[in-house]
Amino acid sequence: MLEPTSWAGLAPAVAEIYLAIAACVILMVDVFAGRRWPRLTPSLTLLALALGVALLVLFGQVSGRVVLFDGLYVEDPLGYVLKLAGFLFLAFALLYSRAYMQLRSIQRGEYDVLALTALLGIFVLVSANSLLTVYIGVELLALSVYAIIAFDRDNAVAAEAAMKYFVLSAIASGALLYGMSLIYGLTGTLRLDELVARLSDPLTPGVILGLAFVVVAVCFKFGAVPFHMWLPDVYQGAPTSMTLFLSSVPQIAYFSLALRLLTYGLDGAVREWTVMLTPIAVLTLIVGNVVAIVQSNLKRMLAYSTIGNVGFILLGFVTGTRAGYSAALYYTLVYVVMVLGSFGVILLASRKGFEAEELDDYRGLYARDPLLALAMMALMFSTAGVPPFVGFWAKLRIIQELWATSHLALVIIAASVSVIGAFYYLRVVKLLYFDAPPAELPTAAQPSAVRLALAVNALAVIVLGVLPGPLLDLCARLLR
């Protein structure tokens, strides 16, 4: 254990320290120079993310487990990799959103600052080693997301979506706080690494009640059934650039919330919380994939797709093994890559005065923009789990671990809903290449850097599918 009395002691927390400083600096730059040079703040934010990666690589690497700040904070190889991924995913999200927001005159520096503070909340959750730190991370992320969803102040639909998310998220936060309070009161410790030793076997009714509230809060943050009612409305109601952010980068936080809280802090109650998660995961798989079939709005379809994919992530936790958690980590990273590209295509297909949200808007896209059509096809194939795309390996790893832990009924359900899900993903491909294009629906010209980023994004789902070994091995080492 290192004590933060010197730079050597603070170095593992360099990402959080740097992000807090960077957000303040960028805010001040935007206040004094944002109106004169409107493109300065977005460019400076991307530069700040690149510098954050450099600082993390130079100073944030740890060979083992390092605990700081009287047990509130922990840094380990898992946290290091998730923070690198967070920097990278946020950079792609901001790059995709830039032209979209400029065309609609909603590009303001506050958005970049909110994105950085949300990333800070994610990093706090990634390195949480205390119930207190968990709650701080959850709220820091949630408060930023509320503002991001309602960022377009002239958009009444977005304001309504933000209010729905705020009210329901407040209930979930209350459930999380109440559950953690019960667990703290009955165990006498806030530290996650001490909870395991304090949990008695069998668990007392009070601890089981607290655990139930914690599971409810975790499932709400993921958007799992029956706590999913906010997700489709928020995805459809928020501007697409905000939906892109909400659907991608925070998934790292929600995975970390489940991992740190359930598998590290409450590992002694693994039998109990896996029993609670199993029916939720099954319902999430079925509802997400079945309801997505009848959607005509692409953003809403991707919202139910998110719900269905969350079901697979939860199945990784249901196994109750390190290999299962590793499969869930792999699925989370792969899913974020796929959803970034999918919403990136929607952003690039839109133009001023036209939101490419309806499925019919993509009829014959290959004739208007071959790159967008090819990228969307690769992303849809991958999300459907078609080999050799990376989404196939993500689903296969979850099913393998379910089989290894003798969850045969869950294997059958997972395989069945994968077939159902393939229908609505392949329907998009059919619209792209086999339907006649509309008479006049030109695609807006996009900066070459954004189109290059989308090409790299689409290529990643192919390369990671053809060569799945490195990422699979990395996830297995991180959760050994």
Helical spans, DSSP H, in 188-321: 192-198, 205-222, 230-237, 240-248, 250-258, 270-292, 298-318
Residue 226 falls inside a structural domain: yes
Residue 443, pLDDT score: 55
Residue 292, pLDDT score: 92
Residue 1 falls inside a structural domain: no
Residue 83, pLDDT score: 95
Segment 459-467 mean pLDDT? 94
Query: What pLDDT digit, counting tens, does each position of 383-395 carry?
Result: 999 989 999 999 9
Query: What pLDDT digit, counting tens, does each position of 355-368 carry?
Result: 888 888 888 888 88
Domain count, the chain: 1
Residue 444, pLDDT score: 55
Residue 396, pLDDT score: 94
Supply 391's token pair: 């989404």
Report if pTM > 0.85.
yes
Q: Yes or no: say if 128 and 256 are a contact pair by the CB < 8 Å rule.
A: yes
Q: Which of 56-60, 237-241, 277-281, 434-438 has the highest average model confidence (pLDDT)?
A: 277-281
Residue 100, pLDDT score: 83
Residue 129 falls inside a structural domain: yes
Query: What pLDDT digit, counting tens, does each position of 144-158 carry?
Result: 998 888 887 778 888
Q: 469 Cβ partners below 8 Å, 6+ apart? A: none
Residue 108 falls inside a structural domain: yes
Residue 273 falls inside a structural domain: yes
Residue 454 falls inside a structural domain: yes
Query: What pLDDT digit, counting tens, does each position of 397-422 carry?
Result: 999 999 999 999 999 999 999 999 89
What 3-state DSSP class applies to 12? helix
Residue 455 falls inside a structural domain: yes
Query: What pLDDT digit, counting tens, does each position of 167-192 carry?
Result: 888 889 999 999 999 999 988 889 98
In the predicted structure, residue 3 carries a pLDDT above the cut 60:
no
Residue 387 falls inside a structural domain: yes
Residue 445, pLDDT score: 59
More confident residue, 292 or 446: 292
Alpha-carbon distances of 19 from 25, 53, 87, 146, rounded to whole Å = 10, 11, 10, 20
Question: Residues 385-422, buried b or exposed e (16+ Cβ, 10 A)?
Answer: bbeebbbbbbbebbbbbbeebebeebbebbeebbebbb
Alpha-carbon distances of 209 from 102, 168, 215, 268, rounded to whole Å = 49, 21, 10, 15
What does the CA dihedral 314, 318, 323, 329 come to, rounded to 10 degrees?
A: 10
Query: What pLDDT digit, counting tens, does each position of 265-320 carry?
Result: 888 888 999 999 999 999 999 999 999 999 999 999 999 999 999 999 999 999 98
Residue 440, pLDDT score: 58
Supply 243's token pair: 């939906």
Residue 229, pLDDT score: 86
Range of the domain at 320: 7-478
Q: How far apart are CA 96 and CA 340, in angstroms?
A: 9
